[in-house]
Amino acid sequence: MIVFERVTKRFGGVTVLQELDFRVAEGEVFGLLGENGAGKTTALRLLCGVLKPTSGRVLVRGLEVSTRTREVRRMIGYLPEEPSMYERMSARELLHFFAGLYDVEEAEERAERMLELVGLAERADSKISTFSKGMRQRLSIARALLHEPPVLVLDEPTSGLDPLSARQLRRLIAEMSASRTVMLCTHHLQEAEELCHRIGILHGGRLVAVGTPEELKAGLEEHGWSSPTLEDVFVWYTGGGVANPGG
């Protein structure tokens, strides 16, 4: 479904991603973890065609993103870390507007279904300026799903949310992931462990580990750790190795 093939991205003389190489299977939820500046958001922007790689290729369903950008974008629903909103619009007006941009058939019916899905049907006619951040995130997901994309790309979807709103949004993501492929960038390890089938850890622009949460923790056990957590795994790979608290 998604392939990063030896992808390097440079901005001037700064290498942000180096030889990024992995695959995401259809129907899989794949999480990217890493410190600030590790290259997570850059990887997602390459996938969505916002940026082009300096070298290497990114493919979605066999189409190279940099040469088939328009076709690929129609297959992707993208939730950026800070989604932009037209605050004077109502939630319903926003979805009708974007449905028109995507040439969505039965746009009004589709918009109503999306509002119901994300729990905003009762606030459909409220101005977006009155929405909390959690409500804006849910509306952004509705917008990303309007054209029924097979791929959903989420960049820090619960960043800045209170615990209840974050839990509600994670539940929504879990429900949506049952029928599509998801790339998720997050700082929240609980979120990654709860939602992701596999996780890739970025450090200094390089992919330093890939596996299921259980596989990654088992790898630390081979280094003598007793019952390591995903946090232990993250620190091990991004901190150059840490002392075994049980050793």
The answer to whether residue 57 is domain-embedded is yes
Q: Which residue range forms the structural domain that includes residue 48?
A: 2-75+149-238
CATH number at residue 71: 3.40.50.300
Q: Quote the CA–CA distance of 113 and 101 in Å, as a whole number.
A: 18
Over 90: is that where the pLDDT of 85 sits? no
The answer to whether residue 9 is domain-embedded is yes
Q: Quote the CA–CA distance of 137 and 158 in Å, as a whole number.
A: 8
Q: Quote the CA–CA distance of 121 and 150 in Å, as a whole number.
A: 24
Q: What are the Cα distances from residue 105, in Å, to 59, 111, 148, 151?
A: 27, 10, 11, 19
The answer to whether the beta carbons of residues 9 and 51 sit under 8 Å apart is yes
At 244 the pLDDT is 60
The answer to whether residue 139 is domain-embedded is no
The answer to whether residue 204 is domain-embedded is yes
Residue 159 structure tokens: 């960043």
At 246 the pLDDT is 52
The answer to whether residue 40 is domain-embedded is yes
Domain count, the chain: 1
Q: Rg for the chain (alpha carbons), in Å?
A: 19
The answer to whether residue 30 is domain-embedded is yes
Could you tell me the pTM of the whole model? Answer: 0.90
The answer to whether residue 141 is domain-embedded is no
**Tens-digit pLDDT profile for residues 153-212:** 999 988 888 888 888 888 888 888 888 999 999 988 989 999 999 999 999 999 999 999
The answer to whether residue 129 is domain-embedded is no
**Tens-digit pLDDT profile for residues 11-66:** 999 999 999 999 999 999 999 999 988 999 999 999 999 999 999 999 999 999 99
Sequence-separated (6 or more) residues with CB below 8 Å from residue 142: 91, 95, 111, 114, 115, 117, 118, 120
**Tens-digit pLDDT profile for residues 93-152:** 999 999 988 888 888 899 999 999 899 999 999 999 999 988 998 999 999 999 999 999
Sequence-separated (6 or more) residues with CB below 8 Å from residue 55: 6, 7, 8
